[in-house]
Amino acid sequence: MIINFSEIPKANTGDGDQDTFELFAREFLQELGYEIIANPSRGADNGKDLIVREIRTGVSGQDTVIDWLVSCKHYSHSGKSITPTIENNINDRVIANKCNGFLGFYSTLPSEGLVKILNNMPFQIFYKEKIEKHIVGIDKFEKIYQRFFPISFSKWKSLSPCYAPIKLFDFYISNAHKSNFEIFKKAFKTNEGMFVALLKSETVEDFLEFRNIKTHKIDIDSEYDKFYTLYYNEIKSKKYTEEKQFLREKILEQLKIEDTINFDVEGFMIREAGHGRYILAPSV
């Protein structure tokens, strides 16, 4: 991990900084594009830390509004995972706050037991690695990085100037593209091979085509809507996560992506604001 989440004070200190992790969550989600409907507050919060709104545009051009109940759990100081005992009565809290789904924002990881419970409802989890991936090396998050994690930010910025290009490249491939790392390893064999390809490429497309990696650019939301309608009778009885997995597989089949062993299907969920989303896969 590049970011030390323990730089943010514990949530139960009572010294005036106990809301810092919730404030960080607000700034992070807002920068990602969510609209803040309810801000963090002290006192009785009706089982929520924030409420954020996501607007999805379907294939017909119609917008769907999704309000997410956000629950922030900051356990990096102990390293404890988030269990159903810590994160309880989720469905009741979502209903009570008139939300459409649950969004967990954690500085550690959710437990397997918690994920099983969440499988019965629309949910998202931002855990430490996923949060870090969005922040480190991403220009628009630099101020948030510096504000909430000044020590980690300083260390990252202090890479030796002599080796900075190699170190930054190595960091970028290993972290910023973690979900597609297996694809890069298979295609380029070594980091040296990747760096050579980078030197000989003028664009990202050139870099990927250097070792025959296909870039598929599609509107994921539209594809989900299309396949949801097409296969409604087959998925209407499935749980939320089973439904999503089924639809992902149909999208991959349409794109003729066969080598799914080395392809993390979550990799194509990254937003490319206004430009659809990308899937990387070996050419077939």
Model pLDDT, residue 185: 62
Q: Does residue 13 sit within a domain? A: yes
- Report the alpha-carbon angle 159-172-208, nearest 5: 140
Model pLDDT, residue 254: 76
Q: Does residue 64 sit within a domain? A: yes
Q: Does residue 200 sit within a domain? A: no
Helix, strand, or coil here: 44? Answer: coil
Q: Does residue 123 sit within a domain? A: yes
Do residue 109 and residue 222 come from a single domain? no
pLDDT in tens, the chain (284 residues): 789 999 999 876 666 677 899 999 999 999 999 999 998 876 667 788 999 999 887 777 788 899 999 999 999 999 999 999 999 999 999 999 999 999 999 999 999 999 999 998 999 999 998 899 888 878 889 899 999 999 998 888 776 454 455 556 666 666 655 555 666 666 666 666 666 676 667 766 666 666 556 666 666 677 778 888 888 888 888 887 888 788 877 877 777 665 443 344 334 433 333 334 455 554 43
Do residue 127 and residue 221 come from a single domain? no
Q: Does residue 155 sit within a domain? A: no
Number of structural domains found in the chain: 2
Do residue 112 and residue 232 come from a single domain? no
Model pLDDT, residue 211: 57
Q: Does residue 194 sit within a domain? A: no
Model pLDDT, residue 263: 41
Cα dist. 204→83, 175, 197, 207 in Å?
Answer: 41, 17, 10, 5
Q: Does residue 122 sit within a domain? A: yes
Among residues 101, 134, 167, which one ends one of the domains?
Answer: 134
Among residues 96, 115, 134, which one ends one of the domains?
Answer: 134
Tokens of residue 226, six digits:
């299309």
Q: Does residue 164 sit within a domain? A: no
Model pLDDT, residue 41: 76
The pTM assigned to this predicted structure is 0.59
Domain containing residue 74: 5-134
Check which CATH number belongs to the domain holding 83 and give it.
3.40.1350.10
Which amino acid is present at 90?
I
Among residues 103, 134, 165, which one ends one of the domains?
Answer: 134
